[in-house]
Structure 1
């Protein structure tokens, strides 16, 4: 079995699994100085875009293509390539299709999609000027595109809105939900979908604290919230997107209103994947490989589900004990260190809350 992987930044997360499965790995990358280029069996440096990876896939006669792209801008090009390669060359590409990317990469499209399928989302309006605002403060101002908190502002007054419009000519404006932030991964392939356990990402703050600076935990345990509701809603969203790969969804739960709100959905690997793996033993990136080799199965995932307490802590630069090889696998470790220097995080797991506290104390 030969698989083409597109993008090297995330490849070290699954290199151990690719080797364990005996897969011949081919990788394309546009940056010859990128990390992890020493890991695959073959590496091809290609221009930006999807034409280079497509040509390498055909030249190397690969059996499948797995894009490992964790940012939004290239996803639409990947989706167009997927549809062409699957149609013309019968090579499976484990990624979202054009419709799914168009619905999820633009927050306005996503809002309209939620409304269409009957999923509750915070009240919103599209502003072309501050004068059009009718929602009560505080409100959240966003651009249609962007990730990682980019171009998001919590406005507490009309002056804040006016300041935002000094930089932008339009804004997606939605009510600020005071409550719990929740993330969940859904895996889908060939019309089958499975929602993994929800992850707790902390409480919303009027200051707009970035998610990377919060301590996260799994599984999600929020008073008044039924995790089955989160999983059912996430499954419904993925089923209606009707595509392949990883779907990472963000929700808010308002205890005051006892209401779950859908915020956004991404069709790419996401920042909570380590915590999900630690919590339930299912690695979403490894499941992309399983989809490519024909071993993705809902029954198999159900049989392999584990139940752990886990946490993810931002540490800047980690200086604790070294994990075992392979260092990115929870199959061999009870903790994983990830992220670039200066912004590293430690994700750890244990079978009880007390054991987790003891482990974290040892690592810190």
Structure 2
């Protein structure tokens, strides 16, 4: 089996799995100084865009293509390449299609999509001027495109809204939901979808604390919230997007209103994947490989499901015990260290909350 991977930054997360499956790995990358270029069987440095990867795939007659892109801008190019390569050459590309990317990469289109499929989302309006504001404070101001908290502001007063419009001509304005932030990964391929256990990402704050600075945990245990409802809603969203790959769904739960609200969808590998793997034993990146080689199924996912308590803690620079090889796998580890130096995080798992607390104390 020969698989082309696009992008090297995430490749070390699954290199061990690719080797365990005896897959011939070919990788394309646009940055000749990128990390992980020593891991695949072959590497090709190509110009930015999808024409280079497509040509490499055709030249080497690969059996499947797996994009490993963790940022939003290239996703639409990948989606168009997917449609062309699958239609004209019959090579599966494990990624979201054009419709799914178009609906999820623009937060305004995502909000309208939620309304169309009858999924609750915070009240919102599109502002072209602070004078149009009709929602009560506090409100959340966003741009249609962007990830990782970029261009998001929690405004408590009108002068803060006016300040936002000093930089932008338009804003998606949402009511601020006080409550729990939740993420859930959904895997989809060939019309089959499975929602993995929800992850708790902390509480919403008026300061707009960045997710990387919060301690996250799994499974989600929020009083009053039924995790089955979260998974059912995430499954409904994925089924209506009707595409392939990984979907990360972000939700908020208001204890005051006893209401789950859908916030956004990412159609790419995401930051909660380590916690999801630690919590339930299913590694979403490895499942992309399984989709490529014909080993993905709901039955296989069900057989892999495990049940752990997990936590992810920001540590800056990790100085604790060294993990076993492969260091990015929970196969032989109860913790994984990830992220760049200065911004490293430790994700740990254990059989009970008490054991998890002891392990976290040892590691941090």
TM-score, normalised by the number of residues in structure 1: 1.00
The alpha carbon displacement at 1:191 in A equals 0.2
Moved over 6 A (4+): none
Q: Distance in 2 between matches of 1:352 and 1:148?
A: 31
The alpha carbon displacement at 1:303 in A equals 1.2
Q: Distance in 2 between matches of 1:174 and 1:215?
A: 25
The alpha carbon displacement at 1:149 in A equals 0.1
- Other-structure match for 1:327: 327
Task: Provide the aligned C-alpha RMSD in A.
Answer: 0.3
- Other-structure match for 1:363: 363
- Other-structure match for 1:341: 341
1:74-223 correspondence to structure 2 within 5 Å:
74-223=74-223
Q: Distance in 2 between matches of 1:285 and 1:316?
A: 24
Q: Distance in 1 between matches of 2:362 and 2:134?
A: 51
1:244-283 correspondence to structure 2 within 5 Å:
244-283=244-283
Which whole-Å deviations, capped at 9, do the CAs of 1:26-85 have from their partners, x for residues lacking one? 000000000000000000000000000000000010000000000000000000000000
- 2:59 alignment partner, SS class: helix
- 1:313 alignment partner, SS class: strand
Q: 1:5 aligned to 2:5?
A: yes
The alpha carbon displacement at 1:137 in A equals 0.2
Q: 1:62 aligned to 2:43?
A: no
- Other-structure match for 1:307: 307
Which whole-Å deviations, capped at 9, do the CAs of 1:242-263 have from their partners, x for residues lacking one? 0000000100000000000000
Q: Distance in 2 between matches of 1:235 and 1:167?
A: 37
Q: Distance in 2 between matches of 1:349 and 1:99?
A: 37
The alpha carbon displacement at 1:326 in A equals 0.2
- 2:3 alignment partner, SS class: strand
Q: Distance in 2 between matches of 1:171 and 1:116?
A: 21
Count of residue correspondences: 364
- 2:122 alignment partner, SS class: coil
- 1:181 alignment partner, SS class: strand
- Other-structure match for 2:293: 293
The alpha carbon displacement at 1:300 in A equals 1.0
Q: Distance in 2 between matches of 1:80 and 1:332?
A: 39
The alpha carbon displacement at 1:332 in A equals 1.0
- 1:109 alignment partner, SS class: helix
Which whole-Å deviations, capped at 9, do the CAs of 1:305-329 have from their partners, x for residues lacking one? 0000000000000000000000000
Q: Distance in 2 between matches of 1:31 and 1:304?
A: 36
The alpha carbon displacement at 1:361 in A equals 1.1
The alpha carbon displacement at 1:194 in A equals 0.2
Q: Distance in 1 between matches of 2:145 and 2:332?
A: 38
Q: Distance in 1 between matches of 2:44 and 2:176?
A: 46
Q: Distance in 2 between matches of 1:186 and 1:361?
A: 31
Q: Distance in 1 between matches of 2:28 and 2:237?
A: 31
5+ long unaligned stretches in structure 1: none
Q: Distance in 2 between matches of 1:255 and 1:362?
A: 34
Q: Distance in 2 between matches of 1:229 and 1:357?
A: 28
Q: Distance in 2 between matches of 1:263 and 1:200?
A: 14
Which whole-Å deviations, capped at 9, do the CAs of 1:224-283 have from their partners, x for residues lacking one? 000000000000000000000000010000000000000000100000000000000000
- 2:44 alignment partner, SS class: strand
